Structure 1
């Protein structure tokens, strides 16, 4: 009786293994662009089109400005918070709001103007 029980336990506890080798050359992982949807896909398409800053979050190099020739700040909204490092060795950032309309002057003398840019949407 004990041998019958042990045979049943051994027979039921065996696992079936597959001994076939996987062929890695036939299966490839999909590209990230194929898997992406929505806003992520639009961001990847913008990168492929050459726009490395689709969300307008990069820094803007300062140059000599006047009220008639300000630094352009793109935004999808009516106002935007910007930070200006007025001097090269300055250890803090001068923050200010730039609103749509006339240009705004920083404490250091640089001029900034907000211009409308269409946002990337997930539609």
Structure 2
């Protein structure tokens, strides 16, 4: 029934204007880069960070690099009485050890505070 009403409306429009009734051609716009003025700038990560993440970001901005990953080389003459120490703010630390200078892989281990391990 609705299809008949549409056909009747189109036929009436064709009779009154005397020309064929057609819809305008659709055009597609091209994608462009969004401007910050139109959509706003990226928010500051410091505003959304909480807890440890915020503490780390504030320390990094202050120039404190204690949370950055570092490479520590083991001492040549380390013993059980004088071990290599790995600094950490937590009770666990993940350490990567290359057992031999020519090895092509790294052995990773988790070390807990107070329990020494040997590579």
Structure number with the bigger relative contact order (C-alpha 8 A, sep ≥ 6) is: 1
Provide TM-score, normalisation by structure 1: 0.44
Q: Which structure carries more strand by proportion?
A: 1
Which structure: larger Rg?
2
Q: Which structure carries more helix by proportion?
A: 2
